[in-house]
Structure 1
Amino acid sequence: MSESLNEVLRLEALRKSYNIGQANEVEILHGINFSIHRNDFAALIGPSGSGKSTLLNILGLLDTPTSGELYLLNQATSIMDDAERTKLRGNSIGFVFQFHHLIQAFTVFENVLMPLIMVHGRPNQQAKQKAYDLLHAVGLENLSKRKPSELSGGQQQRVAIARALITEPALLLADEPTGNLDTQTALDIFELFRKVNRELGSAVLFVTHDPRLSVNCDRTITLVDGRIESDMNRTGLIGVPTF
């Protein structure tokens, strides 16, 4: 597979500012460059205030950069309107957050199906089977009829992962997904992300403050003061820091 076909995401000279044209204008991201490929299992780390949340929102097409370009599946997103970005996001990106954002009124099974219901309406049998298969993959097939409030924190996070995978995303973005879990449950969830990356083929970008998790990722991207300080895999430097 060629480099371009293997590429899920690419940032070129990406910058983000707020309060543009005002006295309190501030630039948060300063010319970010890196790529994510289909086989990547990467951690994004950095101190509080380094710009990780801003960057993640842009990567997930929830926000737009001030300048530069974000390519998702080789498509330039700066020229897209909101509807086009929303469609691309829904088809290509899965999100898992520290807080699960499950809908308490719905069952586990219905929560997993929700991304497909929002796009296609009433789910067909194929969609239902996919939801059951994902619940089996995360070890919750016997809890499909329960409400989220009846599950533990780790179980709810597994539901959130299954929900994120229902659209078969090329990229899975995880924002501190183990931040409110105990140590063993956090390790279990980390291993589940590993399984997703290995068996389902989704590239994973894992934002974490936990060095016990980031050290076990194949690649670590360090963001400091809105710049890429380092981009390392297990064999050494793979990206050029931004200064």
Structure 2
Amino acid sequence: MSESREILRLQGLGKVYNPGTPQESRVLQDIELTLRGGELCALIGPSGSGKSTLLNQIGLLDQPSSGELYLLGQATSRLDDAQRTRLRNQALGFVFQFHHLISAFSVLDNVLMPLMIRSGRPSAEQRQLAHELLGEVGLGAFADKPAGQLSGGQQQRVAIARALVTRPPLLLADEPTGNLDSRSAEGVFSLFERINQQFDCAILLVTHDPRLAARCARQVILVDGRIQP
């Protein structure tokens, strides 16, 4: 595991909605955070603490009001939409509470979807990688099955393979086990642990489950929009 490569750095990051109005809401304040290659980090905190807002900032889905976000060493505050999209596709993978698979598509085609969106028809090498990832998540035999026929835990595993097919340096996971039973949640989290070690992929995991957070090598606590020391 690489400890030296900086993947993400937040410097004084802040987010304010409706600034200068009676409805002004300061959601994030002076966020300082660095993630390096191979880190498995839990982002925890009470509801309303700003976790989803922070994840949207890191995912380049929203612009901060202040501060700077560096991704793979690149400052992002002055990037235009096309540049942000390009960097997002290069650097990030996303796993959400709901897997957002296309039920009628095959498992393999769901995994290949980010590559189809990026470059059209996948190459033979890309299809082979998708097959390998399905093997890694224990679903190699399900490649041709419609995704809608899989269980919830299996569909979440497909979503993880889909997030990894672009080989992102940083995987963002927003309550990825929140919609699963305890057995499926355990399987999915064990998969995150293995991916973290095997692919040297930094993972930022938002979870309300204190048991899963405790198993991460690092916990970042967010309260009222501030990271707690």
Superposition TM-score tier, normalisation by shorter sequence: over 0.9
CA distance in 2, matches of 1:2, 1:101: 31
Which residue is 1:232 aligned to? none
Q: Structure 2-normalised TM-score?
A: 0.97
CA distance in 1, matches of 2:38, 2:100: 28
CA distance in 2, matches of 1:186, 1:23: 42
User: Following TM superposition, where does structure 1 have runs of at least 4 consecutive aligned residues deviating by more than 4 angstroms?
Assistant: none
Which residue is 1:142 aligned to? 141
Mean alpha-carbon deviation: is it higher for 160-169 or for 140-149? Answer: 140-149
Within-5 A mapping of 1:1-243: 6-229=5-228, 241=229
1:195 is paired with a residue whose SS is helix
2:135 is paired with a residue whose SS is helix
Alpha-carbon offset, residue 2 of structure 1 = 9.9
**Are the structure 2 counterparts of residues 2 and 172 from structure 1 closer, same or farther at C-alpha, using a change threshold of 3 Å?**
closer
Q: Is the 8 A contact 2:2 2:200 kept in 1?
A: no
Which residue is 1:236 aligned to? none
Report the RMSD for the aligned CA atoms in angstroms: 1.3
Please, which runs of 5 or more residues in structure 2 have no aligned partner? none
**Are the structure 2 counterparts of residues 2 and 206 from structure 1 closer, same or farther at C-alpha, using a change threshold of 3 Å?**
closer
Alpha-carbon offset, residue 201 of structure 1 = 1.1
| Identical amino acids, percent of aligned pairs | 59
Q: Which amino acid aligns with 1:143?
A: F
Please, which runs of 5 or more residues in structure 1 have no aligned partner? 230-240
CA distance in 1, matches of 2:11, 2:133: 34
Q: Is the 8 A contact 2:189 2:212 kept in 1?
A: yes
Partner deviation per Cα, 1:178-226 (whole Å, 9 max, x = no partner): 0011111111100100111000111001100001100010000000000
CA distance in 2, matches of 1:78, 1:168: 24
2:30 is paired with a residue whose SS is strand
Q: Which amino acid aligns with 2:213?
A: S
Equivalent residue pairs, number: 229
Which residue is 1:234 aligned to? none
